Amino acid sequence: MIDLHNHSLYSYDSKRKMEDIVIEGISKDLDILGFSDHLDFNKNDPGNMFYKGENQLEEFSFLKKKYSQKIKLFLGIESSYEKDYEDKIISSFKKFPFDYKIVSLHFVDGVVISDWIVNLEKDKKSIFEVDYEKYFIQLESIVDFKIFNILGHIDYYKKYSKFTNHRETFKRYQNYYERILRKVIKNGNILEINSSGLRHKCKEQFPSVEILKLYKDLGGEIVSTGSDSHKTGDIAFGFDRIQNIIKDFKFKVYKP
């Protein structure tokens, strides 16, 4: 049981103390727990420049020692990726000794995805009328960035979509998925299975089974597992389901 995607009060959108997260992780029989707080540089992001790595590192070292007999702790990061902020991201990656780095797409065209999707779908009656291509173009730019371990929640746009038949979008953008996943595999990066989608309207983990099948068919062998927890009860959420999927596909699970 490994949960590498957890947000503490070092993220602008979580109020949780690191120690509370560790205690919940132990209560849920996690073997490994990782912190992945937000690293953001977009001026329109409420989390812009919020991350305080020095303070977190100190607290993390204390907790790692204190709970070493009960759980293995790692310090990771979830960086939002936009090409304009590449230098800032790289310099933060160098500044702190992160055990792993998740990179995720949270912005399209400089607009936070939740707003971007709502606006895009506003006047549309069916998913077939919506052009999601810009999402995939920016997703591909993350993969070309290469300097990270885990590609976070690849089909995250589902979270904010008013539509639910995302199988159609998968088919329509399968070329993008293929190219992106080929690059992930070739670069030695890892695809994340993020269970948070199960807590939202889309009622499905990120990524869908179709995408995972494609990853497997293209030679992908390793996935990372994360709940994207922000509050009490979220840790290892839906992991029974995730573990069954992993077993079915015979994936190995990434350890930092």
Residues that bind Zn ion (CB under 5 A): 78, 104, 228
The residue whose two tokens read 């983990």 is 205
Strand partners, 125: none
Nearer of residues 45 and 228 to Zn ion, judged by Cβ: 228
CA–CA gap between residue 36 and residue 29 (Å, rounded): 19
Pairing of strands 72-80, 32-39: parallel
The residue whose two tokens read 């995972």 is 212
Nearer of residues 45 and 121 to Zn ion, judged by Cβ: 45
| Minimum distance from residue 228 beta carbon to Zn ion (Å) | 4
| Minimum distance from residue 101 beta carbon to Zn ion (Å) | 13
| Minimum distance from residue 116 beta carbon to Zn ion (Å) | 14
Q: How far, rounded to the nearest angstrom, does the alpha carbon of residue 192 sit from its chain's CA centroid? A: 6
3-state secondary structure of 166: helix
Nearer of residues 56 and 104 to Zn ion, judged by Cβ: 104
Nearer of residues 128 and 195 to Zn ion, judged by Cβ: 195
| Minimum distance from residue 112 beta carbon to Zn ion (Å) | 11
Q: Is 256 exposed, middle or buried (0-12, 13-18, 19+ CB in 10 A)?
A: middle
